[in-house]
Amino acid sequence: MRKPATSIARTGEADIKAQSIRATGRPLWRRFLRALAWLLFIATMAVFVFVAWNRIDEPPTEAARLHATETRRMVADSDNAWLAFAGLGAAPGGDPIALGRRRVEAYRARFEQFPGRPADANEQELFTDVVTAVKPEAGAVDGDALCPERDTDCIEWAHSHSRVLVHLRNANAVLLRRFEVLSHLPDWQMLYPASADAPRLDTFIPRLYLNLLALGLAPDESTTGSPRDAAALVRLADTAEFWRRVRSQPQDLDTILESGRQLETAYWIFSAWLDHADIKQIEANMESVNRVVQPLPTPVDWSVAMAAEYQSFAHTMAQELPGPVAALGRCVSGSAKGGCLRYLAMNATYLPQATLNLRAGQLAAIQQILESSPTDLARVEQEAGAAIQATFPLPDDGWLLLRQTSYNFSGRILAAMAVPTFDWGRREHDREALRRLVVLKWGARAEGVHADEMPQYLRVLDSSFNNPLTGQPFNWDRQQHVLHFSPLSENYWKRKRVEVSYTDP
């Protein structure tokens, strides 16, 4: 059947138009829209692949598993000095250990059930001390720093500041008595969950206690030349033993740092006492003297401290970066931090376990540095430092940079930002050098060595009295009559050499 003439005419016109378009090309605007559509499609697919790739998390590494599953020893509440310290401000007649336990349970319940929520009125009231520490007025005794032991004879300092110290002793009598009681408990374990916002214990009372012991070792003004207070020396030895006992078990970072500082202060006070004591006084108090400067029973164990740092970091990241879906919900609710687009981008380029694996590797390298000996420190710092550096973003290698920016980039940046500037291990080595230096001073004074005989005395000493940082004998300054060494951590000591004075016995 033949088509109508009009249909044939229209078909011919369409063919002619199609041939014309093929001959002249599509209009420019259509070609532009087509190219734009392809570009949008490619960009959308790239974003989709990028986001999908950043949703494939890593399995935990061995170091991450160890840090995440680190368990603490079981310590009875009645034996836990930390728990008594946490409740030190209990009401008169109250039980500090019981208050400490209630505070731990209250914080732990909020931490586990409502992470990130601030404390309510009941919890704030629970953490408000009934018996509060009375501290020095500004400028009275160098703020609340008390004796600046590195530059000062703390016994002479306490003697010249006796009025203020006696006032502080009377005002803090309840807290000081409680601290003395808890220092005889056999164990110490921090019980708050590992978290950046966990309550911190105020260490003013332990530091005041040591300053009052220095005051007790000062001369009795009623009798010129009277012996030092032997009871104060016994309490100084008890305090040193307590902090060594604390350090004999793996502890959290705050405990390690504070207990080290307390022992350091005890060494300075004992060194000052040696300057005032004669040979008979040293011999009469030999048992206490020996207990003050005993070495640590074992090297500091940093495993719990590193695990706590890992767990605290994991908790913080879980609260701050919950993932793209939850981040979108926060954008809708208006609670996104730093702007919605930025917050979404950070969550889209963040993988929890991959980030924690980086953090675990950093902490493992840090622990190697902390546990290295002084003689191996330079080598270990170089090797472990390279391992830490490898976790940082923006390397010189272009291909490696591309790979890092395409996977967990936000997590890599956050892990790098979490690496602290630390010298904790160096401080420990320096404190051991200080302890040996004070032991050397004690031995020299007990043997009646005069200052002009010190160079010869140092040459004949057993190698166990050498500087542990160098393996060589300690240095002697003939002009200033000081024994000294160059510390590994100049930033901590704020000087290039640590000095211990020596006077003729």
pLDDT, position 402: 58
Same domain, 241 and 113: yes
Question: And the tokens for 309?
Answer: 């740092």
Domain boundary among 269, 300, 331: 300
Residue 273 domain flag: yes
Report, in angstroms and rounded to the nearest whole number, the Rg of the chain calculated over CA atoms: 34
Ranges under pLDDT 70 in the chain: 1-26, 46-50, 53, 138-145, 220-228, 394-404
Nearest Cα to 75, choosing from 250, 318, 293? 250
Tokens 């005993």, residue? Answer: 294
Residue type, 458: L
Please tell me whether residues 493 and 362 are part of one structural domain. Answer: no
Contact 172, 205 (CB under 8 A): yes
* Cβ 147 vs Cβ 212: under 8 Å: no
- Residue 67 falls inside a structural domain: no
Query: How far apart (Å, rounded) are the C-alpha atoms in residues 108 and 470?
Result: 46
**Separation between Cα atoms, residue 355 and residue 360, nearest integer Å:** 9
Q: pLDDT at position 27, please?
A: 73
Are 20 and 169 in the same domain? no
In this prediction, residue 336 carries a pLDDT of 82
pTM of the model: 0.86
d(CA 427, CA 498): 12
Assess whether 412 and 439 both reside in one domain.
no
Residues 260 and 127 in one domain: yes
Say if 183 falls within a structural domain: yes
My answer on whether 429 and 392 are in the same domain is no
Are 489 and 398 within one domain? no
At residue 141, the pLDDT reads 47
Of 265, 267, 261, nearest to 293 by C-alpha is 267
Say if 63 falls within a structural domain: no
Residues 268 and 122 in one domain: yes
Look up tokens 């291909």; give the residue. Answer: 399
- Domain count of the chain? 4
To which residue do tokens 């010190």 refer? 454
Whether residue 141 is found in the same domain as residue 240: yes
Whether 88 is covered by a domain: the verdict is yes
- Considering the domain architecture, whether residues 385 and 326 belong to the same structural domain is answered as yes
Residue span of the structural domain in which 478 resides:
425-505
Residue 182 belongs to some domain of the structure: yes
pLDDT tens column, 28-52: 777 777 777 777 777 777 666 667 7
Residue 12: inside a domain, yes or no?
yes
Whether residues 256 and 315 share a domain: the answer is no
CA-to-CA dists, residue 440 to 157, 265, 297, 479, 485, angstroms: 24, 17, 19, 19, 13
Q: pLDDT digit string (tens) for 97-143? A: 999 999 999 999 999 998 888 999 999 999 999 999 999 876 554 44
Decide which of 390, 417, 444 is a domain's last residue: 417
d(CA 158, CA 160): 5
The helix-helix angle for 230-247 and 204-216 (nearest 10°) equals 150
Q: Is residue 61 part of a domain?
A: no
138 in the same domain as 49:
no
